[in-house]
Copies of this chain bind each other. A is one copy, B any other.
């Protein structure tokens, strides 16, 4: 930590700070500049918070040196982790194809926003597989802004998802909303999604850390990169190493999109963490016509996987129709995406 003192701070304040830092386990180095005094405190920044040191009398600002996350850090492990999804598994899951997030191959996870019925999910699973998707995604538990909106089919939806996996071999990604549902969802799904509104639902993070099912952790709508990696750290420290990240757009002043798709976070995350990073251009833009170009952009800047909303008839979709591709649009995108992946040394 670096402590910067106010101009004209007293000797007593500096002495007090030095002894307080020693108590906290830091080794203080005091430097007297022309206009300011600074203490460089050598030690572990993670135990004591910046906010705490800002309360020391005379201190104007505190600048942390170390990243506050450890297990998620690239310093721990320099190459990208590879997270397997699907395959033969415990619970009531039939066998599915195995997909790897973080390797040369870029998996495309596609499907409708919600599981709307048995027939519907079987149909769309078949269609996205034919168009080239390697995993199926659909929500059985839906977080909805309004209590008057469709809230999902719950366990019934999970059963249909398991059936769709059996029929197509596609591993299944689905959202979990509350800690008590984690064992239930993990029994059916190959990958648990933690949505943007739950990125700092710490009970849910811990509950997902207590199973071994892979976790897709979406970035919070206004999360800093540090908060995001600390959320991942909650899952990792609870015992589950199978975590991957997902940029899905942030909230800004922009209004022609539902969210601002902050793609630079992908290469930036890859400099700081070994966890793979997926891109969700459907939520990332919220506008159907922007999904194909932004999917290409995501692959071009290094996304390890793609999550995209697809529905046979978006106009009839119960949720998120305005940002959902139909089957033909998705198939076209898959064809166009292939050369982009190859241009950056990856494959679909």
Task: Show the binding face of A for B, using Cβ within 8 Å.
Answer: 2, 4, 7, 20, 29, 31, 33-36, 38, 40, 42-44, 46-47, 49, 51-52, 54-57, 63, 65-66, 68-69, 75, 143-149, 177-180, 197-198, 200-204, 221-222, 224-225, 227, 230, 233-234, 237-238, 250-257, 260-268, 271, 284-285, 287-290, 293-294, 296-302, 314-315, 317, 319-324, 336, 339-340, 342-344
Q: How far is the CB of A158 from chain B (nearest CB, A)?
A: 16
Inter-chain contact A146/B46, CB cutoff 8 Å: yes
Known pairs A253-B253, A296-B343; list 6 more (Cβ under 8 Å). A29-B29, A51-B322, A52-B321, A222-B253, A252-B260, A254-B265
A7: nearest residue on chain B (CB-CB)? B75
Q: A252-B250, A300-B340 are in contact. Are A54 and B264 (CB under 8 A)?
A: no
Could you say which residues of chain B place their CB within 8 Å of the CB of A224? 253-256
Chain B nearest CB, measured from A276 CB (Å): 15
Q: Which residue of B lies closest to A32 (CB)?
A: B42
Q: How far is the CA of A224 from the CA of B251 in the complex (A)?
A: 10
Chain B: which residue is nearest A266 at the CB level?
A: B293
Q: Write the chain B residue with the least CB distance to A144.
A: B202
- With A201-B198, A203-B177 as known contacts, state yes or no: A251 contacts B234, CB within 8 Å: no
| C-alpha spacing A221/B199, complex, angstroms | 13
Q: Which of chain B's residues has its CB closest to A20's CB?
A: B315
B262 touches A254 (CB 8 A): yes
How far is B296's CA from A267's CA once the two chains are assembled, in angstroms? Answer: 12
Contacts of A344 in B (CB 8 A): 296, 336, 339-340
Q: Is the CB of A42 within 8 A of B52?
A: no
B145 touches A200 (CB 8 A): yes
Tell me the minimal C-beta distance from A143 to chain B in angstroms. Answer: 6
